[in-house]
Amino acid sequence: MSMPKRTLLKVIVLGDSGVGKTSLMNHHSRYVYKKFSQQYKSTIGADFVTKEVEIDGKHVTLQVAGQERFQSLGAAFYRGADCCILVYDVNIPKSFETLQNWHDEFLNQVDPTDPDTFPFVLIGNKVDVDGGNSRVVSEKTAREWCASRENSMPYFETSAKEGYNVDDAFLCIAKTAILNQHEQDIVGAFLYCSSGRSLLLDLVKSGRQSVTQSEGSQML
């Protein structure tokens, strides 16, 4: 019996130092399985974790990479990304204020075909701190920021420490990336068919001109 086809997705996790990116990446549950790899750590200085999820009966492997230093890794880190997770600490307003910088830097490095539709997901982490009494950035503020994007961005509030909402966030990330892949495939197929049809029409026109010229010379 053949093995089921596995989808491989590369996910980049960005945000200020200390917002809990590594804790989110290392979260383990019965639904999301992770494997550790030191490859990125030793080669380009990033944390790298493989997570496996199942969506609609299909196995999906998420290669999740995160970094702490802003603009430190360049193209090698971002290359081939299928989705980007932006993370901030709901208790630290500065980590929310820098989200736009992380967002723009990612698009600058990846240079996707359509930046407006590239899949991003926003995570507001550490909602458990001090029972939520230390919170500064409101959920409403975060959701308004997501809604202001050209392509409205999914938003999750999590506690990596308690495991709250982490599974749902990663499942959404996988579904969002897969949906984007399908849309890109459809667009690619459309463009291929369109260009093929255009080429065929050009050949037909060229052929007609050749026939017309040939008939004209015979009449002379």
Q: The CATH number of the domain where 38 resides is what?
A: 3.40.50.300
Picking from 83, 103, 90, the residue whose alpha carbon sits closest to that of residue 20 is 90
Higher pLDDT, 177 or 125: 125
Residue 206 has pLDDT above 70, yes or no: no
Within-domain flag for 133: yes
146 with 112: CB under 8 angstroms?
Answer: no
In single-letter form, the type of residue at position 45 comes to G
Spell out the residues 6+ positions from residue 29 whose beta carbon is closer than 8 angstroms to its own.
163, 166, 167
Convert the pLDDT of each residue in 153-164 to its tens digit. 999 999 988 889
Within-domain flag for 63: yes
Residue 209 has pLDDT above 60, yes or no: no
Within-domain flag for 205: no
Within-domain flag for 62: yes
46 with 40: CB under 8 angstroms?
Answer: yes
Following DSSP, what letter does each residue of 157-202 receive, concatenated? Answer: E-BTTTTBTHHHHHHHHHHHHHHHHHHHHHHHHHHHHHHHHHHHHH
Q: According to the model, what pLDDT value does residue 184 have?
A: 61
Separation CA 167–CA 32 (nearest Å): 7
Full residue range of the structural domain in which residue 164 is found = 6-189
pLDDT band at 213; cut points 50, 70, 90: very low
DSSP three-state, residue 43: helix
Number of domains in the chain: 1
Within-domain flag for 12: yes
Partners of 12 in the β-ladder: 65, 84
Partners of 125 in the β-ladder: 89
Within-domain flag for 182: yes
Q: What is the arithmetic mean of pLDDT over 127-139?
A: 95
Picking from 115, 9, 1, the residue whose alpha carbon sits closest to that of residue 53 is 9
Q: According to the model, what pLDDT value does residue 143 have?
A: 97
Residue 214 has pLDDT above 60, yes or no: no
Cβ neighbour number for residue 110 with a 10 Å cutoff: 18
Within-domain flag for 104: yes
Residue 125 has pLDDT above 80, yes or no: yes
Residue 115 has pLDDT above 80, yes or no: yes
Distances (CA, A) of 160 to 27, 37, 44, 150, 157: 7, 20, 25, 28, 10
Residue 14 has pLDDT above 50, yes or no: yes
11 with 81: CB under 8 angstroms?
Answer: yes
Separation CA 141–CA 7 (nearest Å): 34
Alpha-helical (H) ranges within 69-165 are 75-78, 93-97, 99-110, 139-147
Convert the pLDDT of each residue in 24-70 to its tens digit. 888 765 445 555 444 444 444 567 788 888 887 788 888 888 876 54
Higher pLDDT, 127 or 117: 127
Q: What is the arithmetic mean of pLDDT over 121-141?
A: 96
Query: Chain centroid to CA 156: how far?
Result: 15
Residue 112 has pLDDT above 60, yes or no: yes
Q: According to the model, what pLDDT value does residue 145 have?
A: 97
Within-domain flag for 69: yes
